[in-house]
Amino acid sequence: MSIQIKPGSLSDFFDSAKETAKEIDAGKKITPKNTIWVSPSDLLAILKPERTKLIQHLRGKKRSFFSELMTDMNRTPVSLNNDLKLLSKYGLIHVYKEANPGHGVRKVIELSMPKEKIEFKAEI
């Protein structure tokens, strides 16, 4: 199974949902779809080399900490936060905070579907 990231709008999502509903009504077997509809500008932003490297880096780990990612990837806090914000907007990653005993809290980052292949599809 894979995650498909397609450029599109909310209406594209509803068109896809209607097609699936018609298949269900016709009694056809439905295979699960992991499709994320992304605005074309965000799709280009996700494909930037820094963000794809970040996803590849996260694939090798069950979970990562913000401070470790900054060091491992030689990134600034602002640039890393921007990347995490965009990737979490589309559900590719989960970002949450947990207690760091004796040191306050720390930000934890996990891939949403670490074993799934991510496919980008573009239609012009």
pLDDT tens digits, 9-29: 667 767 777 877 888 888 887
68: pLDDT strictly greater than 70: yes
Delineate the domains of the chain, giving CATH numbers in brackets. 2-120 (1.10.10.10)
Closest CA to 42 of 77, 8, 93: 8
Q: With a threshold of 0.85, does the pTM exceed it?
A: no
pLDDT tens digits, 72-115: 999 999 999 999 998 898 888 899 999 888 888 999 999 887 77
Cα separation, 55 vs 59, whole angstroms: 6
69: pLDDT strictly greater than 80: yes
Res 73: pLDDT: 92
Res 33: pLDDT: 66
